[in-house]
């Protein structure tokens, strides 16, 4: 019987849609802005796929929202080995992981973001493989499955002896600098993770070269031309989208979402709520996004303000993808994960990616919610 240590960071990811770019220390602020907890739903999406194998699995976990409720609702066999406080935190994550080691867990499956991954890795110290169900705002580490569905496939296959582990990196960013628009990624630890190509994400890479900057400039010039059609343009995070704003004389929120119309900034560092209110007023809207280096996500990582509802309102046909040729060449395909499987399927398929001035390439976009990518 496979033994899994399972935990949820209940507040993971709440800061994304409301524009906080993280939730560390800001859970109450996120709730005050109207954020809704999503980590339990992500965890349930993964564990529900393990229900057919319930007789061959046993879970160790913590009480309440830190694991117990989801395990009960999914009808899995489990024991509660840690009484979690109502407002659990990093020390609770570390404490329950120590118990998982004592119990002889074969795998630790956690639901959260990079901060949670750091805490799990700090407590386990390479003694047992760990695997992340993605639910945070920041997920740059290589321990995360590309989706909850992929996490279920990886966990099941590993416990059946069908997969090996690989050593990967746990990284995180300084959230205060991140909110101020500066991205500093730091290596915190290494971990063993069940691995299958296409189901586990790569650690985020940052590309810097003169050639890259030239292509970003070309993309920006082209974008400044087609953005004269009167539509409102929702710009996702990243240095490539920032080049567009710079060319227009606008200071972009590097790690946030801004809105431009007719060469003018109409909304800075917008939240999901802000975008939906804007779309109530504007008939023509388009979204510009760029993939995360090495991971390939265009939606579902980072710019969570561009939610499933925002995407539905704008329309899949009005999603514009931009990327430098080098970054694109290192990606087998692009990924979307909106939390809505039907929308992910609508966004999937062969899509045009703007790579320079009046230059484009076709690239496959796949739904990360399909665990058999």
Q: Are residues 181 and 112 in the same domain?
A: yes
How many domains does the chain divide into?
Answer: 2
Q: Are residues 353 and 265 in the same domain?
A: yes
Q: Are residues 6 and 132 in the same domain?
A: yes
Q: Are residues 187 and 314 in the same domain?
A: no
pTM reported for the whole predicted model: 0.72
Q: Are residues 185 and 310 in the same domain?
A: no
Q: Are residues 75 and 138 in the same domain?
A: yes
Please answer whether residues 270 and 19 qualify as being in contact, where contact means their C-beta atoms are separated by less than 8 angstroms: yes
Q: Per-residue confidence at 253, pLDDT binned at 50, 70, 90?
A: confident
Tell me how far the alpha carbon of residue 60 is from its chain's centroid. Answer: 26
Residue that has been written with the tokens 């999937």 in this structure: 348
Say if 148 falls within a structural domain: yes
Strand partners, 30: none
Task: For residues 199 and 331, give the distance between their C-alpha atoms in angstroms, rounded to a whole number.
Answer: 14
Phi, psi of 318 (to 5 degrees): -105, 20
Q: Are residues 174 and 100 in the same domain?
A: yes
Say if 199 falls within a structural domain: no
Q: Are residues 141 and 283 in the same domain?
A: no
Last residue of a domain, one of 130, 161, 194: 194
Strand partners, 289: 321
pLDDT at 23 over 80: no
Q: Are residues 19 and 106 in the same domain?
A: yes
Q: Is 271 exposed, middle or buried (0-12, 13-18, 19+ CB in 10 A)?
A: buried
Measure the CA dihedral 301/302/303/307, to 10°.
40
Task: For residues 222 and 192, give the distance between their C-alpha atoms in angstroms, rounded to a whole number.
Answer: 43
Per-residue pLDDT tens over the stretch 207-230: 455 578 899 999 999 999 999 999
CATH number at 150 reads: 3.40.50.10330
Structure tokens at 84: 């979690």
Mean pLDDT of 347-359: 94
More confident residue, 170 or 28: 170
Residues 6+ positions from 23 with CB-CB distance below 8 Å: 11, 12, 13, 14, 15, 16, 30, 113, 115, 136, 137
Q: Per-residue confidence at 102, pLDDT binned at 50, 70, 90?
A: very high
Say if 203 falls within a structural domain: no
Write down the pLDDT at residue 19. Answer: 46
Q: b/e map of 178-204 (b: 16 or more CB within 10 Å)?
A: bbebebebeebbebbbbbbebbbbbbb
Q: Are residues 163 and 310 in the same domain?
A: no
Write down the pLDDT at residue 30. Answer: 45
Q: Are residues 278 and 353 in the same domain?
A: yes
Write down the pLDDT at residue 159. Answer: 96
Strand partners, 88: none
Say if 201 falls within a structural domain: no
Say if 334 falls within a structural domain: yes
Task: For residues 179 and 161, give the distance between their C-alpha atoms in angstroms, rounded to a whole number.
Answer: 42
Write down the pLDDT at residue 24. Answer: 55
Q: Per-residue confidence at 176, pLDDT binned at 50, 70, 90?
A: low
Last residue of a domain, one of 128, 162, 194: 194
Q: Per-residue confidence at 273, pLDDT binned at 50, 70, 90?
A: very high
Last residue of a domain, one of 194, 227, 259: 194
Please answer whether residues 287 and 306 qualify as being in contact, where contact means their C-beta atoms are separated by less than 8 angstroms: yes
Write down the pLDDT at residue 304. Answer: 81
Query: Residue 65's domain spans which residues?
Result: 2-194
Say if 200 falls within a structural domain: no
Q: Per-residue confidence at 277, pLDDT binned at 50, 70, 90?
A: very high
Say if 373 falls within a structural domain: no
Structure tokens at 186: 């730091």
Q: Per-residue confidence at 163, pLDDT binned at 50, 70, 90?
A: very high
Say if 372 falls within a structural domain: no
Q: Are residues 136 and 245 in the same domain?
A: no
Q: Alpha helix (H) ranges present in the chain? A: 14-17, 27-32, 39-47, 68-73, 90-103, 114-124, 148-159, 175-179, 210-226, 239-247, 272-281, 308-314, 325-329, 341-347
Residues 6+ positions from 162 with CB-CB distance below 8 Å: none
């Amino acid at each position: 019987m496979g033994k899994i240590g399972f935990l949820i960071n209940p507040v993971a990811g709440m800061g994304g849609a409301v524009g906080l770019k993280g939730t560390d220390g800001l859970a109450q602020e996120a709730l005050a802005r109207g954020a809704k907890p999503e980590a339990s739903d992500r965890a349930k999406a993964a564990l529900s796929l393990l229900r057919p194998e319930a007789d061959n699995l046993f879970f160790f976990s913590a009480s309440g929202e830190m694991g117990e409720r989801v395990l009960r609702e999914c009808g899995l066999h489990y024991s509660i080995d840690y009484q979690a406080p109502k407002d659990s935190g990093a020390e609770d994550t570390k404490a329950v992981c120590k118990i998982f080691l004592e119990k002889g867990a074969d795998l630790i499956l956690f639901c959260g973001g990079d901060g949670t991954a750091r805490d799990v890795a700090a407590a386990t110290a390479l003694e047992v493989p760990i695997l992340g169900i993605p639910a945070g705002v920041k997920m740059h580490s290589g321990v995360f499955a590309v989706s909850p569905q992929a996490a279920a496939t990886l966990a099941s296959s590993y416990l059946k002896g069908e997969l090996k582990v690989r050593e990967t990196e746990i990284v995180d960013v300084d959230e205060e600098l991140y909110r101020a628009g500066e991205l500093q990624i730091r290596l915190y630890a290494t971990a063993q993770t069940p691995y299958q190509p296409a189901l586990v994400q790569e650690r985020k890479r940052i590309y810097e070269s003169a050639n890259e900057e030239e292509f970003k400039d070309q993309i920006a010039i082209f974008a400044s031309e087609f953005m004269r059609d009167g539509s409102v343009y929702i710009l996702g995070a990243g240095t490539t989208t920032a080049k567009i704003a710079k060319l227009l004389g606008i200071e972009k929120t590097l790690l946030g979402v801004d809105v431009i119309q007719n060469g003018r900034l109409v909304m800075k560092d917008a939240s999901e709520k802000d975008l939906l209110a804007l779309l109530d007023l504007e008939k023509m809207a388009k979204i510009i996004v760029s993939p995360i280096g090495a991971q390939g996500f265009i939606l579902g990582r980072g710019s969570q303000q561009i939610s499933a509802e925002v995407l539905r309102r704008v329309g899949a046909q009005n999603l514009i993808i931009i990327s430098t040729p080098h970054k694109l060449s290192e990606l087998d395909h692009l990924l979307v994960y909106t939390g809505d499987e039907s929308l992910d399927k609508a966004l999937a398929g062969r899509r045009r990616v703007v790579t320079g001035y009046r230059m484009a390439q076709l690239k496959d976009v796949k739904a990360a919610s399909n665990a058999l990518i």
